Structure 1
Amino acid sequence: MALAMAVTLLTSCGSSDDGPDRITGAKDSTEESGDASSAPPSKAADSDADAPEFDYPEDVTVEVENGPAGDATEDAVLRDHGYAVQSIRLGYAKQDPRLDVLERYLAGDALAGWRAGIDEFVADGRTVSGTVRYYDREVTSRKGDVASVEYCEDQTNSYAKIADSGKVLKTEPSPDDFIRHVSTMRKTADGIWQMVHESDEQGAAQCGTS
């Protein structure tokens, strides 16, 4: 099921100067299925003692791939970028666009845009379910306290779910399940790299074979 950007379950919205160029999420369809099978909650896979914990529901899993880049600054960018995408997914899973961890790792247009996307999802009575995977994450440019991260998202096993009934809205896999993202990251005075802008391309060919 195609959910462009971030974890698996957001609805598409048009481009906006106030947020990601495209916000999509859990793929959904008009056909409802039973509850998703349980999966262990995901947590940040990082040895950093200060790494946040992401207490996802049992049926939500977030996989963030790619190890250290070998450069201390790029490693920090990718670490905090991983926390940012996990916090977005948590916001959808908990139907809460104002989580502390979301505000810690996102700011500016990205925070405003993702908050709007979560609010819209909540208004539709939906949350998320399933597994979303982020991979091929790479720092493609860096100048001072600003960096760009390009990465892929696989929403093949990610779905929207009706919050009240727990019914999962399943769809058939499609090329739109693979999304290519570009995140702009900016370092704060506290040393955190925050996602401040995001754009994406749904159905990206370069992400569909990984």
Structure 2
Amino acid sequence: MKRHLVLPVVAAATAGLLLTSCSSGDSEPDDDIAGAQTSAPPEEPDDEGSEGDADSDAEEPDDDIDRPEIELPEDMTKEFEDVDTDDSVELAVLADQERYASAVDEAIADGEAGSALSFYATGEGYISALDLVSGFHEDGYRVGGSTRYYNRSVTLRDSGIATSSYCVDFSNAYSVDVETGEEFPEGDEQGLYSFRQVLNEAGVWQVDSWTAASGGDSCD
């Protein structure tokens, strides 16, 4: 069955919320996904490794953080709308939000959880992302085409905590059958995504929870 680009995300986000409210904190990701960890530990910078941003529009900050490289399929492009802010902390939150989105798409394309996913996600944000990756992997699909992220916002909360959101335009994106390469256009699809991000010891604004819904009036 072809995997729809909006609804599985809603299902995965709902699963994450249910885990948060009903579990005792011992939930584990799907062991069928290669590279999945039982938790996403904070990443510490070291002296080796590569740095990349996976075709994101965000400029690389001069923050001395050793970031994992993210590689997306050649047929995938991601366009992130600028946000009207010159606050350095808000810009850092938004930049890591973009990298999280790219890390999820990389994991879907690879069929496994790479180092970038655990670098930019933690807790239920990581577990629910694994649920999404697992759904695409089991159905044999990945994402291709151009995806636009707009109506973006960011709000700084308590120290080391922020919330952010964006709308996603899937009208130029499509699902790809991994085995045959056949493409399935999505039509005029939009989704509204909201994130809670926490600053870890390495200086990364990790996504630790998120919700998703159909775009509706918020994404007009």
Q: TM-score range by the shorter chain?
A: 0.7 to 0.9
Matched letter for residue 191 of structure 2: I
Contact 1:186–1:196 (8 Å) recurs in 2: yes
Q: Does 1:59 align with 2:66?
A: no
* Structure of higher RCO (CA pairs closer than 8 Å, 6+ residues apart): 1
Would the alpha carbon gap of residues 165 and 123 (structure 1) be closer, same or farther in structure 2, given more than 3 Å must change?
same
- Equivalent residue number for residue 167 of structure 2: 152
Q: Does 1:3 align with 2:18?
A: no
Structure 2: runs of 5 or more not aligned: 21-53
Report runs of 4+ in structure 1 exceeding 6 Å deviation. none
Q: Relative to total residues, which structure has the larger strand share, 1 or 2?
A: 1
- Distance (Å, rounded) in 2 between the aligned partners of 1:80 and 1:171: 27
Q: Does 1:43 align with 2:32?
A: no
- Equivalent residue number for residue 81 of structure 1: 97
Matched letter for residue 200 of structure 2: T
Contact 1:43–1:53 (8 Å) recurs in 2: no
Give SS of 1:13's match.
Answer: helix
Would the alpha carbon gap of residues 58 and 184 (structure 1) be closer, same or farther in structure 2, given more than 3 Å must change?
same
- Distance (Å, rounded) in 1 between the aligned partners of 2:69 and 2:81: 17
By how many angstroms is 1:76 displaced? Answer: 1.2
Quote the sequence identity (%).
24
Structure 1: runs of 5 or more not aligned: 20-41
* 1:177-197 Cα shifts (integer Å, max 9, x gaps): 111111000010111100011
- Distance (Å, rounded) in 1 between the aligned partners of 2:9 and 2:92: 30
- Equivalent residue number for residue 28 of structure 1: none
Q: Please show how residues 179-194 of structure 1 align to structure 2 within 5 Å.
A: 179-194=191-206
Q: Please show how residues 57-206 of structure 1 align to structure 2 within 5 Å.
A: 57-67=73-83, 69-96=85-112, 98-173=113-188, 177-206=189-218
By how many angstroms is 1:146 displaced? Answer: 0.9
By how many angstroms is 1:13 displaced? Answer: 2.2
- With structure 1 as the length reference, what TM-score do the two structures score? 0.76
Give SS of 2:103's match.
Answer: helix
Contact 2:4–2:175 (8 Å) recurs in 1: no
- Distance (Å, rounded) in 2 between the aligned partners of 1:73 and 1:66: 15
Q: Please show how residues 5-44 of structure 1 align to structure 2 within 5 Å.
A: 13=11, 15-16=14-15, 17-18=18-19, 43-44=55-56
By how many angstroms is 1:72 displaced? Answer: 1.7
Matched letter for residue 112 of structure 1: I
Give SS of 1:160's match.
Answer: strand
Would the alpha carbon gap of residues 147 and 171 (structure 1) be closer, same or farther in structure 2, given more than 3 Å must change?
closer
Matched letter for residue 167 of structure 1: E
- Distance (Å, rounded) in 2 between the aligned partners of 1:91 and 1:133: 19
- Distance (Å, rounded) in 1 between the aligned partners of 2:209 and 2:93: 14
- Distance (Å, rounded) in 2 between the aligned partners of 1:136 and 1:75: 15
Aligned-CA RMSD value: 2.4
Would the alpha carbon gap of residues 113 and 79 (structure 1) be closer, same or farther in structure 2, given more than 3 Å must change?
same
* 1:89-113 Cα shifts (integer Å, max 9, x gaps): 11112222x2101110011111101
- Distance (Å, rounded) in 2 between the aligned partners of 1:170 and 1:143: 41
Q: Relative to total residues, which structure has the larger helix share, 1 or 2?
A: 2
Contact 2:83–2:152 (8 Å) recurs in 1: no
